[in-house]
């Protein structure tokens, strides 16, 4: 699994989400659910037992008018690399049901291998992993609209955002047929990226200087991928999870909300 | 009615009374079995667990019974490896309690996993870097060892012992029990430790995460240590309860005193190590992640600083002082209070390292999720208790669990 | 668990972990086998009186 493809350079697919652009419309959530056959219940109001691979959190600066401000944070799986692929969830899974792909940087979940111990959920600080507490049931006729490219999950296993990995596979198949080994930036895009009406989500290869994600976030490989863009930050940077989702905001309180700081710790906007 | 099965020279209650209590406890057991079947057939939606509480009361119960069952490996280690011969008079009961605890732990794990029929994946597709894999392997192997240690007791039943093959088998197993005990201690060291490692390696959860040596976080060593300290406390406590229920002395005082003294020193040294660990974690590890100690103990309805005081001071320092002082051990009230607190301390520690880890918000825009188990979770957690009581009742009635019982009865 | 499963890698982690496991299992297995065989032999030899232990 650590072997890299002989003919291609290792990719590190990741995201940059511009929080100043995000309106909290939830289109990314809806697109994700439709694309990935995410099961839902009649009542989805309890967010502690409903599955949302992409979840939009809302937060405020806690101040009163006129300084009151709010922000929406879309949260997919961070596809943490941590140190050399030892993501918090990957290293703990007892049955190798989740794996870090060194070719793409994507953390996979093998549903037929998972036996539902939920240790990965305990390990993930982002709550990006969801358990199928119920059997997936779709309204009559809706089965016909399920994506044939994504296997539905059964009760008792954990699932999470895959960065629409099936789209990567389809794009690679097409490229191979055309005699190529590399993908263009627009050939592999996640459904949430394409659905965002504000264009707040950008997706691409963080290792590729030609891709927008690299140009915007400017990940510093010498410091575990920390963004060099002063307006960019990652969630819970200090835990050492080395996530591949970067956030952008011109507002300091938003950047500060991305991580924990002790009260008198120097005012740090990003890291 | 069943007098031919009862060990010679000891008194037992009437068969009717025995059956009556078996039925009473059996009803509780059936309630648990019903809840267990609901969880297996309808799924884990029968619980109040959720995506924030992926680990909940079952995992706590699992960790707690394994810690309390640690009396078996540690007493075995003292008896067979370190030659504390007096402990032969309590080792049978320690083994029985351990057997109950470990079989319960395996049962709880089987209920807890979302796809029970795939449980064997943890062995076949093992990820050797996962602490849970180490737990599963060592737990299963050690359960095999405990079974081997329990079998000779069954074979010593008056009627079974009359069969020459069983008599010889029991004799031979006793002959090499030291080897099994050593293997059990080896396995216990790793699985008790790995259970500590389960929480300690979670670098995404600052409340649980600990630095350590090589691949093992400090919690690895602390869990083994606390199991060695609290397991014997639990053995003494259950022995005392059994003596109260049966209204007779079953183990001589010097045996209890020796085990209590050793448990006391283990508990005292563990408590010192735990204080150092907590101090280092609070002063160095936690601030490096952007938290202060009180972030973990405020702004929620349950987890106040009291829980840390309860775990370390009331269930650590206090019982240690009682157990390492001769006066403390010799007062029956203080001794039993101390072993109860010692055992409770392990349970509180496991609670904190499972439930509070899940409860503490890590992202700044989250709040503390609270959780209360469903009746199915409660029933399945009580199930092993009922099963344990029944197994103790049957074993006590028909097997020579307490070698000193006849002698004490004759003196009395 | 066995070198036949496809995840198996001959690296230090697997050798230490699985080595420990198979070592323990071997002791348990051989120990029990010894006890059972010896008990059968003893029984055939006519032992089986109460010898106390």
Query: For chain B, which residues make up each domain, given as ranges?
Result: 3-411
Instruction: Give burial (CB, 10 Å; 0-12/13-18/19+) of A175.
Output: middle
- Residue A7's pLDDT is 52
Scanning the structure block, which residue is given the tokens 């300084």?
A: A67
Rounded Cα distance between B328 and B336, Å, is: 10
Q: What are the structure tokens assigned to B263, written together?
A: 């448990």
Rounded Cα distance between A232 and A253, Å, is: 13
Mean pLDDT, residues B50-55 taken together: 94
CB A267 within 8 A of CB A252: yes
Sign of the four-CA dihedral B102, B105, B110, B114: negative
Chain B residues 106-135 within an 8 A CB cutoff of chain C: 123-129, 133-134
Nearest CA in chain B to A135: B43
Q: Residue B382's pLDDT band (boundaries 50, 70, 90)?
A: very high
Partners for C (CB, 8 Å, 3+ pairs)? B
- Chain C residue numbers with beta carbons less than 8 Å from the beta carbon of B174 are 53
Q: How many CB atoms are closer than 10 A to CB A208? A: 18
Rounded Cα distance between B243 and B254, Å, is: 16
A76-87 burial, b at 16+ Cβ within 10 Å, e below that, comes to bbbbbbbeebbb
pLDDT digits (tens, 9 = 90+) for B312-351: 999 999 999 999 999 999 999 999 999 999 999 999 999 9
Scanning the structure block, which residue is given the tokens 């870097």?
A: B129
Rounded Cα distance between A162 and B220, Å, is: 33
SS (H, E, C) chain A: CCCCCCCCCCCCEEEEEECCCCCCCCHHHHHHHHHCCCCCCCCCCCCCCCCCCCEEEEEECCCCCCCCCEEEEEECCCCCCCCCCCCHHHHHCCCCCEEECCCCCCEEECCCCCCCCCHHHHHCCCCCEEECCCCCCCCCCHHHHCCCCCCCCCCCCEEECCCCHHHHHHHHHHHHHCCCCCCCHHHCCCHHHHHCCCCCEEEEECCCCCCHHHHHHCEEHHHCCEECCCCEECCCHHHCCCCCEEEECCCHHHHHCCCCCCCCCCCCCCC
pLDDT digits (tens, 9 = 90+) for A66-99: 999 999 999 999 999 999 899 999 999 999 999 9
Please state the φ and ψ torsions of residue A71, each to the nearest 5 degrees.
-150, 145
Which one is predicted more confidently, B62 or A270? B62
Partners for A (CB, 8 Å, 3+ pairs)? B
- Closest C-alpha among A236, A207, C25 to residue B184: C25
In chain B, the largest separation of any two C-alpha atoms, in whole Å, equals 70
CA–centroid distance for B5 within its chain: 30
- Residue B412's pLDDT is 64
Rounded Cα distance between A137 and A131, Å, is: 15
Rounded Cα distance between A171 and B295, Å, is: 46
Rounded Cα distance between A169 and A104, Å, is: 11
Rounded Cα distance between A203 and B14, Å, is: 76
User: Quick one: what percent of chain B has pLDDT higher than 90?
Assistant: 83
Q: Which of A92, A116, A236 lies nearest to residue B132, judging by beta carbons?
A: A92
Please state the φ and ψ torsions of residue A74, each to the nearest 5 degrees.
-70, 135
pTM of the model: 0.92
Q: How many helices (H) and strands (E) does chain C have?
A: 1, 0
Mean pLDDT, residues B174-200 taken together: 91
- Chain B residue numbers with beta carbons less than 8 Å from the beta carbon of A116 are 44, 113-115, 118
Instruction: Give burial (CB, 10 Å; 0-12/13-18/19+) of B106.
Output: middle
In DSSP terms, which residues pair with A14 in a beta bridge?
Answer: A204
- Chain C residue numbers with beta carbons less than 8 Å from the beta carbon of B175 are 35, 53
Helix (H) or strand (E) holding B217: strand B216-217
CB A257 within 8 A of CB B364: yes
Cβ of A131 within 8 Å of Cβ of B114? The answer is: yes
Mean pLDDT, residues A118-127 taken together: 96
Scanning the structure block, which residue is given the tokens 């539905």?
A: A152
Mean pLDDT, residues A126-151 taken together: 94
Rounded Cα distance between A136 and B9, Å, is: 62
Tell me how close the Cα of A119 comes to any Cα of chain B, in angstroms. Answer: 7
pLDDT digits (tens, 9 = 90+) for A44-75: 899 899 999 999 999 999 999 999 999 999 99
Residue B215 preceded by cis peptide, ω within 30:
no
Q: Report the topology of domain B3-411.
A: Formate dehydrogenase/DMSO reductase fold (1.20.1630)
pLDDT digits (tens, 9 = 90+) for C13-25: 888 888 888 888 9
Interface check B40 vs C, CB under 8 A: no
Query: For chain A, which residues make up each domain, given as ranges?
Result: 13-256
- Residue B406, pLDDT > 50, answer yes
Cβ of A127 within 8 Å of Cβ of B51? The answer is: yes
Mutate to test the interface with A, among B108, B130, B374 (most CBs of A within 10 A): B130
Rounded Cα distance between A47 and A59, Å, is: 16
Q: Which of C14, C35, C48 lies nearest to residue B167, judging by beta carbons?
A: C48
Cβ of B54 within 8 Å of Cβ of A57? The answer is: no
- Residue C18's pLDDT is 87
Cβ of C17 within 8 Å of Cβ of B128? The answer is: yes
- Residue A33, pLDDT > 70, answer yes
Q: How many CB atoms are closer than 10 A to CB B48? A: 18
Sign of the four-CA dihedral B205, B207, B208, B212: positive
- Residue B266, pLDDT > 50, answer yes
Cβ of C14 within 8 Å of Cβ of B128? The answer is: yes
In DSSP terms, which residues pair with B334 in a beta bridge?
Answer: none
Tell me how close the Cα of A14 comes to any Cα of chain B, in angstroms. Answer: 20
DSSP-derived 3-state class of residue B212: strand
Local structure of residue B161 (DSSP, 8 states): G
Instruction: Give burial (CB, 10 Å; 0-12/13-18/19+) of B134.
Output: buried
CB A74 within 8 A of CB B365: no
Q: Report the topology of domain A13-256.
A: Alpha-Beta Plaits (3.30.70)
Helix extents (H) in B69-130: 70-76, 88-112, 121-124
Cβ of B114 within 8 Å of Cβ of A157? The answer is: yes
- Chain B residue numbers with beta carbons less than 8 Å from the beta carbon of A235 are 363
Nearest CA in chain C to B167: C48
Rounded Cα distance between B174 and C1, Å, is: 31
Cβ of B148 within 8 Å of Cβ of C43? The answer is: no
Q: Which of C7, C32, C53 lies nearest to residue B171, judging by beta carbons?
A: C53
Scanning the structure block, which residue is given the tokens 């007892």?
A: A94
Local structure of residue B369 (DSSP, 8 states): -
Q: Residue C49's pLDDT band (boundaries 50, 70, 90)?
A: low
Chain C residues 1-53 within an 8 A CB cutoff of chain B: 1, 5, 7, 13-14, 17-18, 20-21, 24-25, 27-28, 31-32, 34-36, 38-40, 42-43, 47-48, 50-51, 53
Rounded Cα distance between B90 and B262, Å, is: 14
- Closest C-alpha among A8, A6, A181, A1 to residue A101: A1
Average pLDDT value for chain B: 94
Tell me how close the Cα of A145 comes to any Cα of chain B, in angstroms. Answer: 26
- Residue B411, pLDDT > 80, answer no
Which one is predicted more confidently, B36 or A223? B36
Q: Residue A6's pLDDT band (boundaries 50, 70, 90)?
A: low
Tally C-beta pairs within 8 A across B and C: 81
Local structure of residue B7 (DSSP, 8 states): P
- Residue A3's pLDDT is 46
ipTM of the complex: 0.93
- Residue A2's pLDDT is 43
Please state the φ and ψ torsions of residue A227, each to the nearest 5 degrees.
-70, 140
User: Quick one: what percent of chain B has pLDDT higher than 70?
Assistant: 100
Span of A6-20, A113-127, B187-201 with lowest mean pLDDT? A6-20
How far are the Cα atoms of A92, A113, A128 from residue A109, in angstroms, in the given order?
13, 9, 12
Cβ of C7 within 8 Å of Cβ of B187? The answer is: no
- Residue C48's pLDDT is 65
Q: What are the structure tokens assigned to A59, written together?
A: 């937060």
Q: How many CB atoms are closer than 10 A to CB A216? A: 18
Mutate to test the interface with C, among B125, B136, B167 (most CBs of C within 10 A): B167
Cβ of A262 within 8 Å of Cβ of B54? The answer is: no
Q: What are the structure tokens assigned to B63, written together?
A: 């960790």
Cβ of C13 within 8 Å of Cβ of B128? The answer is: yes
Cβ of B183 within 8 Å of Cβ of C53? The answer is: no
Q: How many CB atoms are closer than 10 A to CB A65? A: 5
Show the CA angle centred on residue B379, arms to residues B378 and B380, nearest 5°.
95
């Amino acid at each position: 699994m650590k072997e890299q493809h002989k003919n291609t350079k290792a990719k590190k697919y990741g995201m940059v989400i511009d929080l100043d652009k995000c309106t909290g419309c939830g289109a990314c959530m809806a697109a994700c659910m439709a694309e990935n056959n995410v099961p839902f219940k009649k009542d989805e109001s309890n967010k502690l037992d409903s599955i949302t691979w992409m979840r939009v959190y809302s937060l405020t600066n806690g101040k009163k008018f006129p300084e009151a401000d709010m922000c929406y944070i879309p949260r997919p799986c961070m596809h943490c690399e941590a140190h050399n692929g030892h993501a918090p969830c990957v290293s703990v899974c007892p049955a190798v049901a989740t794996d870090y792909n060194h070719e793409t940087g994507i953390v996979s979940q093998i549903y037929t291998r998972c036996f539902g111990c939920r240790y990965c959920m305990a390990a993930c600080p982002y709550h990006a992993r969801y358990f199928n507490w119920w059997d997936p049931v779709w309204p009559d006729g809706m089965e016909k609209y399920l994506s044939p490219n994504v296997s539905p999950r059964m009760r008792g296993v954990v699932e999470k955002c895959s960065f629409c990995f099936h789209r990567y596979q389809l794009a690679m198949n097409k490229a191979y047929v055309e005699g190529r080994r590399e993908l263009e930036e627009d050939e592999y895009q996640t459904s949430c990226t394409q659905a965002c009406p504000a264009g707040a989500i950008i997706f691409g290869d963080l290792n590729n200087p030609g891709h927008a994600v690299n140009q915007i976030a400017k990940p510093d490989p010498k410091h575990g991928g920390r963004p060099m863009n002063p307006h960019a930050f990652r969630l819970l940077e200090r835990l050492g999870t080395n996530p591949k989702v970067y956030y952008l905001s011109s507002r300091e309180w938003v950047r500060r909300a991305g991580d924990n700081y002790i009260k008198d710790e120097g005012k740090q906007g990003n890291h | 009615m069943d007098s031919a099965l009862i060990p010679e020279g000891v008194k037992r209650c009437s068969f009717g009374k025995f059956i009556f209590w078996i039925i009473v406890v059996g009803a509780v057991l059936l309630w648990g079995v019903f809840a267990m079947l609901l969880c297996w057939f309808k799924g884990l939606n029968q619980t109040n667990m959720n995506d924030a509480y992926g680990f909940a009361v079952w995992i706590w119960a699992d960790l707690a019974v394994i810690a309390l069952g640690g009396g078996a490996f540690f007493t075995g280690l003292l008896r067979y490896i370190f030659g504390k011969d007096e402990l032969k008079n309590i080792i049978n009961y320690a083994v029985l309690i351990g057997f109950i605890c470990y079989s319960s732990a395996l049962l709880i794990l089987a209920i807890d996993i979302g796809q029970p029929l795939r449980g064997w994946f943890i062995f076949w597709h093992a990820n050797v870097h996962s602490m849970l894999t180490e737990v599963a392997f060592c737990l299963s192997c050690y359960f095999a060892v405990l079974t081997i240690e329990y079998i000779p007791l069954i074979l010593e039943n008056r009627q079974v012992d009359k069969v020459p093959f069983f008599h010889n088998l029991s004799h031979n197993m006793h002959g090499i029990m030291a080897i099994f005990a050593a293997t059990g201690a080896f396995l216990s060291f790793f699985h008790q430790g790995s259970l500590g490692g389960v929480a300690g390696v979670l670098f995404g959860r600052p409340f649980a995460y600990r630095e350590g040596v090589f691949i093992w976080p400090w919690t690895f060593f602390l869990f083994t240590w606390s199991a060695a300290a609290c397991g014997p406390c639990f053995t003494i406590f259950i022995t005392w309860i059994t003596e109260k229920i049966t209204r007779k002395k079953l183990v001589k005082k010097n045996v209890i005193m020796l085990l209590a003294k050793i448990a006391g020193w283990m508990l005292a040294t563990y408590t010192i190590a735990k204080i150092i660990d907590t101090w280092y974690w609070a002063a160095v590890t936690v601030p490096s992640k952007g938290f202060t100690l009180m972030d973990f103990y405020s702004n929620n309805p349950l987890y106040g600083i009291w829980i840390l005081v309860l775990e370390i001071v009331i269930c650590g320092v206090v019982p240690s002082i009682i157990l390492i002082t001769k006066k403390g051990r010799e007062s029956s009230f203080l001794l039993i209070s101390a072993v109860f607190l010692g055992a409770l301390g392990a349970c509180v520690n496991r609670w904190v390292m499972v439930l509070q880890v899940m409860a503490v918000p890590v992202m700044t825009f989250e709040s503390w999720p609270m959780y209360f188990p469903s009746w199915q979770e409660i029933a399945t957690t009580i199930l092993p208790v009922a099963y344990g009581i029944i197994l103790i009742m049957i074993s006590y009635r028909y097997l020579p669990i307490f070698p000193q019982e006849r002698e004490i009865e004759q003196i009395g | 668990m066995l070198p036949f499963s496809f995840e198996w890698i001959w690296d230090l982690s697997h050798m230490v972990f699985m080595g420990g496991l198979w070592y323990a299992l071997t002791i348990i297995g051989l120990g029990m086998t010894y006890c059972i065989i010896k008990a059968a032999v003893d029984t055939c030899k006519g032992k089986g009186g109460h010898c106390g232990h």
